[in-house]
């Protein structure tokens, strides 16, 4: 079985240097620790559908077509603006597909993991479907959220809810059904694992003064010491140095043990 950790980093500004010098080494250590092949794409293929976020599925799609990834293999994708805070648990799934509901209450495609099989092959094809793109690609939701919007349409998930998806039946799947929906609830429960917010923490109470208008979207709260992956989505500053210090201190002073003992007190 092959395991691949995929990160696409192709910035034309300060972010590239920050990624290469301070984030990528953490990813590489994580990959080595959990026996992943670390695959960093800094020279991606031509832009697809006018936005680089489509690469996060088009590249695995091509790897599957080329036979680089075979049934039983695992590919995990992380956005380049994510930092791994805890390395103790491997980001993979026993199901076909897994992702996390983030702090802002979205079914976020910023990171995900796929176990290659017949179902997940079809999932990738449907996400990249030209037919679906021609039908829905010009809508406001698709223009803003692209592959993530497609997942919402495939699962019949309401675009936004001020009530946490954790409090809704079936994580909000089938909350806004349409003719574009592909999967039944039984099929989703069989093939999809939804990970806790700690796997994609996009907003934190401890950093509230840094978030400005984004604070209104802090719906799924997660304490800093429980975060597994911090994601600077929505144009936030990349507070990499502060997080690297936090990770160091957490290991030095055994914060993770404390978090495990008190985990029942928190929402995520």
**Three-point CA angle 101, 260, 257, nearest 5°:** 130
Residue 166: the pLDDT is 97
Mean pLDDT by 10 residues, the chain (268 residues): 97 95 96 97 93 96 98 98 94 98 96 98 98 95 95 97 97 97 98 97 76 74 91 88 86 61 37
Residue 263: the pLDDT is 39
Instruction: Find residue 113's DSSP bridge partners.
Output: 76, 98
The CATH homologous superfamily to which domain 3-265 belongs is Spore Coat Polysaccharide Biosynthesis Protein SpsA; Chain A (3.90.550.10)
Residues 94-123 have pLDDT tens digits of: 999 999 999 999 999 999 999 999 999 999
Residue 112: the pLDDT is 98
Would you list the domain boundaries of the chain?
A: 3-265
State the pTM of this model. 0.91
CA 17 to each of CA 11, 13, 33, 162, 244: distance values in angstroms, whole numbers, following the listed order: 9, 8, 24, 36, 16
**Where do runs of H (alpha helix) occur along the chain?**
14-18, 24-33, 55-65, 118-127, 130-136, 140-155, 185-191, 240-252, 255-261
Residues 2-23 have pLDDT tens digits of: 999 999 999 999 999 999 999 9
């Amino acid at each position: 079985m092959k395991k691949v950790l995929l990160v696409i980093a192709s910035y034309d500004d300060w972010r590239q240097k920050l990624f290469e010098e301070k984030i990528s080494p953490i990813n590489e250590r994580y990959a080595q620790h959990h026996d992943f092949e670390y695959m960093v794409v800094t020279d991606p293929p031509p832009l697809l559908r006018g936005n680089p976020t489509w690469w996060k599925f088009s590249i695995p799609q091509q790897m599957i077509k080329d036979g680089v990834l075979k049934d039983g293999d695992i590919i995990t994708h992380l956005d380049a603006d994510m930092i791994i805070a805890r390395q103790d648990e491997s980001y993979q799934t026993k199901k076909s597909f897994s992702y996390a509901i983030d702090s802002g209450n979205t079914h976020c495609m910023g990171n995900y993991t796929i176990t290659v099989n017949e179902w997940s092959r079809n999932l990738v094809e449907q996400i990249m479907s030209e037919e679906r793109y021609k039908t829905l690609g010009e809508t406001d939701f698709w223009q803003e959220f692209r592959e993530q919007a497609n997942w919402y349409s495939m699962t019949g998930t309401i675009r936004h809810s001020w009530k946490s998806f954790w409090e809704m039946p079936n994580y909000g799947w089938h909350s806004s059904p349409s003719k574009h929906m592909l999967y039944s609830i039984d099929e989703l429960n069989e093939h999809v694992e939804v990970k806790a917010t700690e796997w994609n923490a996009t907003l934190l109470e401890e950093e509230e003064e840094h978030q400005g208008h984004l604070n209104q979207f802090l719906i799924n709260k997660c304490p800093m010491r429980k975060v597994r992956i911090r994601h600077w989505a929505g144009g936030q500053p990349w507070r990499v140095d502060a997080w690297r210090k936090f990770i160091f201190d957490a290991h030095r002073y055994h914060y993770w043990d404390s978090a495990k003992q008190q985990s029942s007190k928190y929402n995520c």
